[in-house]
Structure 1
């Protein structure tokens, strides 16, 4: 058997093994445990889950996953693919979709298949502000000064294909509060959510007041009770490992989650270098008080609902055939999520 063919134990039902990663396969995954459902069989056809149940898919080639656990493929809600190429590695590691939260305009819509990407393009910032004054000098920021410029920047980004808007909320030079509010209003009027780079308490409070929907990182400085409350009903992308997993950031995430903020798994890939599901990020989510079910939700159903990927985040009939096969139950051992034995994306086997 060549390296391009499936590895592992196969139960063949009348046809040869499909090639690895050459496109969607019509197969049945037999004998595994779909987490949250129980032991059952999954039929994959044309990149979709077409049937789920014991004995489903008679006559199809069968992959024996007895004793293993099946969960949806992950969504990483903070990456930078223009800064560091890694979509293929992400796919091989079990990531089916990602939110790219800062890239030059020309990078929007670039090749990332099979990983789906929601792009922000350059983050809206002040002239000479973050990230133009550091790592993002080559087009990763779009400078504005006035409210009208901020609204126009949103229109430009949406016109170029951005599906989310990102604001840089930092120490001076920074976008004014009225300009941030104008950008958020324009984004919401255009059906786009607003993510904010805000690492301190004051900046996080400003971002919430301006109308931002998502903290692009867990803040690393102590948050006041008022700031935590201001984010109730909104979302935060974890990115704990990207900033060293400090005890204060971990505690901030715990408090934000306890207040009703939705936690979205994210790694800040580009700043970090692990392509795939990051074991260090999973461990830090555990430290922040998330159990296995909450971590699974943060990487699957929660971001699928938040970002509008309606066919991701669950292993149900009609959903995308994008899933992980795990050797251990991730509800009991969340670290298993970072070491899948098989990865299927849109019906094609990557691993």
Structure 2
């Protein structure tokens, strides 16, 4: 048993960490016994990537990553529902198999192989001919073309019934038609009736502000197609969360996005780490380029940890990550019983 500093989702706290007889890593917030040895580092739960496309990557690579949760923002809802259920089954199977393993010195260190939690939005909702309906990369069933309120109601119900935890709307005027205000507002209201926040891909002049004005909960990408004014930034910071996805851009879009994020963060806005995993050769793990871009935008230290939204490490199902020294997330790795050797 070791004393340890850990992150509970809001700030740093004190507790103890130990490995039980089955090699399961356990963390508890308790009064620290006197003279307890201290772990040379800190612990956080698995990080969250708030914008991924799992049908475009080798999803099995998540098993060895430091990601405890991923949020798919556009894909075939049936495929994603099955994939999420498979990972839930893997978590249950791993918990059972862990308790059945023999204490054998020839085995690799026994640590809970908790699978990544998969959440998803299901299909992009887009107008007829809207983004991404004309894109070769869009998997079959990954978008729904919405022409009416009835179409919208059916699509929101379909995603909700399949287990979606949010709704994704495409509002990309650079690539094709977008919903008018009335239909976009209706989609947001229909989603709210199912307790589902709406995440909008807002691209093109005025689209980020329109999404905020009509009640979107989050932008799938920090605005990159235009520099927002300080007044517009203040409106965004008061009501909408931004998912970063800074590293997917080249200049000038990258510079524009970083400038927007720097001012949004300074205004008190909530920035969430997200990579658009699957958009190009992105790692199926923590993305060093995205972390570097967030730091360039002034998000570092505790603010960076919060953007990564790690799970509560006191949750027995959470991946436990070990960070040494300056608690740099890029040095995070999964905690093992070997780390608790004196």
How many positions carry a matched residue from both structures? 294
How far 1:224 sits from its partner (Å)? 3.1
Structure 1 segment 257-268 matched on structure 2, within 5 A: 257-268=265-276
Structure 1 segment 48-87 matched on structure 2, within 5 A: 49-50=27-28, 52=30, 54-55=32-33, 66-86=39-59
Distance 1:43 1:287, change over 3 A: same
Check the 8 A contact 2:57/2:284 in 1, yes or no. no
Aligned CA-pair RMSD = 2.7
What is the TM-score when the length of structure 2 is the normalising length?
0.77
Whole-Å Cα distance in 2 between the matches of residues 320 and 52 of structure 1?
A: 19
Whole-Å Cα distance in 2 between the matches of residues 337 and 319 of structure 1?
A: 21
How far 1:219 sits from its partner (Å)? 1.2
Structure 1 segment 312-331 matched on structure 2, within 5 A: 312=311, 314-316=312-314, 318=315, 320-330=317-327
Alignment of 1:239 onto 2:211:
no
Alignment of 1:42 onto 2:17:
yes
Between Structure 1 and Structure 2, which shows a larger proportion of helix residues?
2
Alignment of 1:281 onto 2:283:
no
Secondary structure class of the residue paired with 1:118: strand
Check the 8 A contact 2:208/2:223 in 1, yes or no. yes
Distance 1:225 1:70, change over 3 A: same
Whole-Å Cα distance in 1 between the matches of residues 15 and 26 of structure 2?
A: 17
Check the 8 A contact 2:18/2:25 in 1, yes or no. no
Output one character per residue of 1:83-117: Cα deviation in whole Å (capped at 9) or x when no partner.
2223x433422110111100112213233531111
Distance 1:319 1:254, change over 3 A: farther
Whole-Å Cα distance in 2 between the matches of residues 38 and 189 of structure 1?
A: 37
How far 1:157 sits from its partner (Å)? 1.2
What is the TM-score when the length of structure 1 is the normalising length?
0.75
Whole-Å Cα distance in 1 between the matches of residues 246 and 31 of structure 2?
A: 38
> RCO greater where, 1 or 2, for CA within 8 Å and sep 6 or more?
2
Whole-Å Cα distance in 1 between the matches of residues 12 and 44 of structure 2?
A: 10
Whole-Å Cα distance in 2 between the matches of residues 65 and 278 of structure 1?
A: 30
Partner of 1:153: 155
Unpaired runs of at least 5, structure 1: 1-27, 59-63, 302-311, 331-335
Check the 8 A contact 1:196/1:214 in 2, yes or no. yes
Alignment of 1:89 onto 2:90:
no
How far 1:293 sits from its partner (Å)? 0.6
Distance 1:130 1:44, change over 3 A: farther
Secondary structure class of the residue paired with 1:183: helix
Partner of 1:116: 117
